[in-house]
Amino acid sequence: MPAPGPAISIRGAVKRYGGITAVAGLDLDVPEGICLGLLGRNGAGKSTTMRLLTAQSRADEGEIEVLGLPVPRRSKRARAMMGVVPQQDNLDEELSARQNLEVFAHIYRVPRAGRRAAVARALALAQLTDRADTPAVKLSGGMRRRLLIARGLVHSPRLVLLDEPTVGLDPQVRQELWSLIARLRDEGVTTLMSTHYIEEAERLADDCALMARGRVVARGSPEKLIAEHAGAEVHEHYGTADRLAEIERIAREAGVPTRRTGPSISLLKAEQFDDALRARLPVPPIRRPANLEDVFVLLTGESAD
């Protein structure tokens, strides 16, 4: 029976580790059936949020509901309906792909009569049917990652938490995983995916929540976030450090948002420039469409910590 409310509801969650506030009054709703991309810099609080949802950590304050169930009070019941795919590969090396899935089918109490079919379905979803009997230790990095995702899906969860699903993988393997994640959404599974890869969020997420300092600082579809914060067009200027600083100053005086892009400076919302501003800026700039990375850098800061 579908939960009446959103798949995930977090209200005012706070999690402190000693003097560090990892999650600082977080509000987050994830409607059923969407893929939500959780974006943020290192240390923004994404993993802590995931741990609060699985009750691996307890919030100091706030209310958390997963599939209509209060967490941590009813986390066991919630966990039975949710799949968790960790960032760290913790497959059992000695066991075959099939056996790894069978162990989890057992842990997640897939009824005995349906276990074989559940494992076969998860193998097929991860395109590992022909490697079912290969020990995990002999699978490639990409196959292992697909198996890890399949393991989180073996009990047909309604909600899947994916923590950095494609970190450290080559472009081809990432694309295979993207197809797999997209298939999940097509099947109506709600997905919460933390990622550092902006392109991943742009391609897969219906909605993105941008986290900074333990809170959501912006929320919406990639298109909405881009239009709202970066506009349609970006003008990039190259030059000496002094020149870039001057362009940055002119833009800021005119109220134009800017971001550094390595050796260049990017001026956002360029389609809104008036003639007076255009006259003060060097020409020609390199023109390009605004993207989600512009929004990310604008809202979460330019410098490395």
* Cβ atoms within 10 Å of 130's Cβ, excluding its own: 9
Q: Which is nearer to ligand ATP, 44 or 181 (CB)?
A: 44
CA distance 110 to 72: 23
CB of residue 47 to ligand ATP, shortest distance in Å: 3
Q: Which is nearer to ligand ATP, 132 or 167 (CB)?
A: 167
* Cβ atoms within 10 Å of 90's Cβ, excluding its own: 9
CB of residue 296 to ligand ATP, shortest distance in Å: 13
CB of residue 53 to ligand ATP, shortest distance in Å: 12
Instruction: Pinpoint the alpha helices (H) of 21-110.
Output: 46-53, 75-80, 97-107
Q: Which is nearer to ligand ATP, 45 or 152 (CB)?
A: 45
CB of residue 62 to ligand ATP, shortest distance in Å: 15
Q: Which is nearer to ligand ATP, 25 or 43 (CB)?
A: 43
Q: Which is nearer to ligand ATP, 43 or 239 (CB)?
A: 43
CA distance 37 to 19: 28
Query: What letter does residue 96 receive in the DSSP assignment?
Result: B
Applying CB under 6 A, the residues found at the interface with ligand ATP are 17, 20, 22, 40, 42-48
Q: Which is nearer to ligand ATP, 24 or 120 (CB)?
A: 24
CB of residue 48 to ligand ATP, shortest distance in Å: 3
CA distance 65 to 81: 13
Q: At CB < 8 A and 24+ separation, what contacts does 122-127 make?
A: 122/150, 122/151, 122/153, 122/154, 123/97, 123/98, 123/150, 125/150, 125/153, 125/180, 125/183, 126/150, 126/180, 127/176, 127/180
- For residue 13, the cross-strand partners are 26
CB of residue 290 to ligand ATP, shortest distance in Å: 24
